[in-house]
Amino acid sequence: MPLYSEKVMDHFRNPRNVGVIEDADGVGEVGNAKCGDIMKIYLKIDDDVITDVKFETFGCGSAIASSSMATELIKGKPVAEAMELTNKAVAEALDGLPDYKMHCSVLAEEAIKNALDDYYEKKAKKAGQPDKTEQ
């Protein structure tokens, strides 16, 4: 049995949604000092729906594949649904990861949740500021 599924290899060799969103509505970054993986997720959100998502990942093939699959799983979804994403769902969508690489799917989940938290913080801050036309 191969170590990695065909889906893992496909998302590693042909990652989806790679890049940066300059005017992102939410950005989340996580890293694992033990393995050296670093993930950064950028979200563009309109009417509480994720209209675009990009990632930058420095790490192993499993980390890149997990980032790629996670972005595919949340693109076009409502923010509330994206908040429910689990590392298990990412790993299952990749047809599994070796046990010692499951932390990569955890990082993908955490990066997305950090980006969504950042979005909520920016949204709350914007809502709390008085409209400049009212001053």
On whether the CB atoms of residues 45 and 119 are closer than 8 A, the answer is: yes
Planar angle of CA 84, 80, 121, nearest 5 degrees:
105
Q: Which helix (H) or strand (E) holds 109?
A: helix 102-128
Catalytic sites, residue numbers: 35, 104
- What is the distance, to the nearest Å, from the Cα of residue 90 to the centroid of all Cα atoms in its chain? 10
Distance CA 113, CA 30 (A): 10
The β-bridge partners of 56 are: 40
